[in-house]
Chain A
Amino acid sequence: MPEITELAVGDIVAEKEFNLDRDALVRYAGASGDFNPIHYRDEVAVSVGLPGVLAHGMLTMGLSIEPVVSWLGDAGKILDYGVRFTKPVAVPANGQAVIMVVAKVAELDLEEKKARIDLQTSFEGNNVLGKAQVWVQL
């Protein structure tokens, strides 16, 4: 469990790379119950004007907080987590989409022992989430 007194605004607390393949999308569809076919069928994605199969926004949101949960060692310390979906993540039929997550301290509340961690989630050099902020109890 990290100590709030050892943290400073701007510290990177975690960073991690995630490799998304089609299997990951199907697994998330099953676990979440979101079976929108644009997340696993190319012809359906193309028919609604998309470049191809996209990752569920909620999968991107879900994996983006994983480095923070691992850093805390307890998902029960997450108080609040919000994101804006700014860009889609296209996942090829063969191969992987590589997503990079960097988690940084943005604000510290020493009195309440709470910290705001901001996430930068990028794919092919672009941020795919905006205002991705997590409040954690330390």
Chain B
Amino acid sequence: MVNPNIQGKRYPRSVSYLVGREKIREFARATFESEESIDLTKAQAAGHSDLVAPPTFPIVLQEFGLKLVIADPEAGLDFSRVVHGEQKFVFQRPIIAGDLLTSELSVASVKSLGGNHMVVFDTEIFDESQTLVCTAISTLVVRGEDA
């Protein structure tokens, strides 16, 4: 289960994450992106300084925050009972290779629903100048003991 009192809890800022060009290529290929989307010349022609990360790439940063929740005894989150319910990414600007990012996860809400818990996590991702780049919003369903 999960402790409903963690609603509003904010976890510590992650260590910085340098977005690598080849990491973008690896992630893009794993999500069936075309070779054109990871062509540096094409990205630069579109006005970017380097490759643009695929739209779901921020999941990598969200995971850092979720690891803190899983390790937090106060949260009491039993990850073996967790199902991914919803996911959303809201971009202020795209993530570009070379970005030095940090992320910070907070618990937006914990709701009870028919023996299950629904937990919404907001992960804010900032660049080196502390400007918000993207928010990743994840809803996890924690199945109850009988579910």
Contact A63/B32 with A58-B84, A76-B48, A76-B52 known, Cβ cut-off 8 Å: yes
Query: Does B130 sit at the interface, judged by CB under 8 A?
Result: no
Query: Does B9 sit at the interface, judged by CB under 8 A?
Result: no
Query: Does B145 sit at the interface, judged by CB under 8 A?
Result: no
Of A2-10, A27-35, A104-112, the one with at least 4 CB within 8 A of chain B: A27-35
Interface contact A31-B86, CB-CB below 8 Å: no
**Which range contains the number of A residues in contact with the other chain?**
20 to 34
How many whole Å from A137's CB to the nearest CB in chain B?
Answer: 10
Contact A75/B86 with A27-B30, A31-B27 known, Cβ cut-off 8 Å: no
- A46-66 near B? 1/0 per residue, CB < 8 Å: 001000000001110111011
Query: Does B1 sit at the interface, judged by CB under 8 A?
Result: no
Interface contact A75-B52, CB-CB below 8 Å: yes
**Which range contains the number of B residues in contact with the other chain?**
35 or more
Of A28, A78, A85, which is within 8 A of B31 by CB? A28
Q: How far is the CA of A65 from the CA of B32 in the complex (A)?
A: 10
Interface contact A66-B63, CB-CB below 8 Å: no
Interface contact A84-B86, CB-CB below 8 Å: yes
For A84, the chain B residues whose CB sits under 8 A away are 85-86
Interface contact A75-B55, CB-CB below 8 Å: yes
For A70, the chain B residues whose CB sits under 8 A away are 34, 36-37
Q: Kindly identify, within residues 74 to 88 of chain B, every residue whose CB is under 8 Å from any CB belonging to chain A.
A: 80, 83-88
- B12-54 near A? 1/0 per residue, CB < 8 Å: 0000000000000011011111101100001100111000111
How many whole Å from A4's CB to the nearest CB in chain B?
Answer: 17
Contact A73/B36 with A32-B60, A63-B31, A79-B91 known, Cβ cut-off 8 Å: yes
How many whole Å from B19's CB to the nearest CB in chain A?
Answer: 13
Query: In the complex, what residue of chain A is closest to B53 when comparing beta carbons?
Result: A75
Interface contact B56-A31, CB-CB below 8 Å: no
Interface residues of B (CB under 8 A from A): 26-27, 29-34, 36-37, 42-43, 46-48, 52-56, 59-60, 63, 80, 83-91, 94, 137
Interface residues of A (CB under 8 A from B): 18, 24, 27-28, 30-34, 48, 57-59, 61-63, 65-66, 69-70, 73-76, 78-85, 131, 134
Beyond contacts A73-B42, A76-B48, A85-B85: 18 other A-B pairs, Cβ-Cβ < 8 A, are A30-B26, A31-B26, A57-B87, A58-B59, A62-B54, A62-B56, A63-B31, A65-B56, A66-B33, A69-B33, A69-B37, A70-B34, A73-B46, A76-B52, A80-B90, A81-B89, A84-B86, A85-B86
